[in-house]
Structure 1
Amino acid sequence: MGVDGCGIEIVDGNTYEGHFKNGLAEGHGKKTWVTGECYIGEWRDGLRHGRGECTYQGGAKYTGQFADGTFHGQGRFKWCDSTYYEGSWVYGREEGLGTKVWPDSESYKGHWKEGLRNGQGKAVFANQDCYQGDFLDGQEHGQGLYTWVDGEVFGGEFVDGKPHGLGVKSWPDGERYSGDWFE
C-alpha cells in the first residue's frame, strides 16, 4: 500500500516533490535527477503525463504534452544547438504537422512521420533554395516545385531528392525545358 497526499521522495539522489497516489507521483509535481534533468508538470502512475516542461543538462528543453513518460501531443523541443521543433509528437518522435528550424536558417514546415519529413511540406535550405511538395522518408519524393535562389525553377516529379520523371525547368534568362528528367 502506497502513500497518498503531498510530500518529497528522494531515491538514489533523484528528488520528487509533489502529489502522490498509491506511492506514485500523481497530479502536479517536480522531479530533479542527478543527471541535471528536471521536469515540472503533470504525473500519472509515476510517469510524466499531461502538460509539463523538461529541461536537460546542457540546456535542451521540451515544453508541451506528455503521455506515458514521453513527448506525446503538441509541444516544442529546443536542442542545445538552438535547433527547435514545434508541433505534433507521437511517443517521442515528430509526427503529424510541425515546424523545425535549424541554426543555419534551414527550415521545414509540414507533415512528419516517425521523426522524418513525410507528406506535404515546404523546406527552405541554408542557401535559401526552396522546395514545396511531397516528401517521403525525409527526402523530396513525388510532385514538387524546387526554386533555386538564382531564379531557376523545376516543377514536376522527384525521386529520392532529385528531379526524376516528367517536369518543367525554367531559367532566369527565359529558357525552358519540358520533358523527362533522369539523374
Structure 2
Amino acid sequence: MPISKCPKKSDPLWKEWDQKSQKNGLRHQVYAVNGDHYVGEWKDNMKHGKGTQVWKKKGAIYEGDWKFGKRDGYGTLSLPDQKTGKHRRVYSGWWRGDKKSGYGIQFFGPKAYYEGDWCGNQRSGWGRMYYSNGDIYEGQWCNDKPDGEGMLRLKNGNRYEGYWERGMKNGLGRFFHLDHGQLFEGFWVDSVAKCGTMIDFGRDEAPEPTKFPIPEVKILDPDGVLEEAMAMFKKTQEED
C-alpha cells in the first residue's frame, strides 16, 4: 500500500512576524512613544540583564540590572540637578521588583545621606543616617523611621542610646549630656523623658559644666528597717 504523509502545518504569517519583532539580546537605543529610551539587554521583549533607562519627563537615569522588565539586582539611579544642570546620584544599591531592597546608599542632599538596609523602597533593618544639621543616627529602622535599638549622636557631641518607636525615643534609654557633664537614664515616651535618674558624668572635663554638682542622696535608716526589708525581698526573689 502506498504511504501518504500529511504536510506539516505552517504557523500563520503574523506569528512569524511577531517572533522576529521580539527583542532579545543586546539592543541599541530603543525609544518608547513617550520619549523614554533604553539601551541594553532584552529577553522575550522585556528588559533583562544589564541596561540603561532614561525617563524623558523627569530626566531620571537608571544604570544597572534588570529582570523581566523591572529593576532587579544592583543599580544606580540619578536625577538632574536644577542648580548645576548635571545629573547627581540619588541611590546606589540593590533592587528587587523595581523597588529599593537590600543594602544601598540614598542621597537626600549635599550633606544628608543614608547607608544601610532597604525593603520595598523604605529604610528597614540596620542603617546609618547622616542628617544635614550634623546629627547622626545609627541603629534599627522600620517603615522608613528609627525603630528598635539605636543611637543618636548630636552635632554638639551629646548622644542618646536606647530604644525607638515610630521615629521617637520610646522605652529605656540613656542621654549623655557631655556638654554639661551629666547622664540621664530612664524611660521615654514619644521622645519625652517620663522618669529616671540624673547623675554627674565627666563633669570635670565638660566644656560647660553645671554651676553645682548633683548632691549625693543618702537614705537615713538608723534602725536598719529598710536594710532588713531589702534583705527579705532579695531572699524571696531567690526562692522564687
Could you tell me the TM-score, scaled by structure 2's length? 0.70
1:43 equivalenced with 2:63 (yes/no): no
Amino acid at match of 2:37: T
Within the candidate set 194, 199, 216, 1:164 is matched to: 194
Aligned CA RMSD, in angstroms, stands at 1.7
Q: Who wins on radius of gyration, i.e. which is larger?
A: 2
1:134 deviates by 0.3
Which residue is equivalent to 1:4?
24
Higher strand share: 1
Amino acid at match of 1:163: A
- Identical aligned residues as a percent: 25
Give the alignment of 1:30-179 within 5 angstroms. Answer: 30-34=52-56, 35-58=58-81, 59-148=88-177, 149-165=179-195, 167-171=196-200, 172=203, 173-175=212-214
1:139 deviates by 0.7
Which residue is equivalent to 2:206?
none
Which residue is equivalent to 1:15?
37
Task: Tell me if the contact between 1:60 and 1:79 (Cα under 8 Å) persists in the aligned partners.
Answer: no
Moved more, 73-82 or 46-55: 73-82
Task: Tell me if the contact between 1:66 and 1:73 (Cα under 8 Å) persists in the aligned partners.
Answer: yes
Structure 2 segments unaligned to the other structure (5+ residues) = 1-18, 82-87, 204-211, 218-240
Task: Tell me if the contact between 1:112 and 1:118 (Cα under 8 Å) persists in the aligned partners.
Answer: yes
User: Where do 4+ consecutive residues of structure 1 move more than 2 Å?
Assistant: 57-60, 125-129, 171-174
Structure 1 segments unaligned to the other structure (5+ residues) = 179-183
String of CA shifts for 1:81-140, please: whole Å, max 9, x gaps.
431000000010000000000121111000000000000000012343210000011011
Could you tell me the TM-score, scaled by structure 1's length? 0.90
Task: Tell me if the contact between 2:23 and 2:45 (Cα under 8 Å) persists in the aligned partners.
Answer: yes
Q: In 2, distance between residues paired with 1:177 and 1:55?
A: 58
Q: How many residues get paired?
A: 177
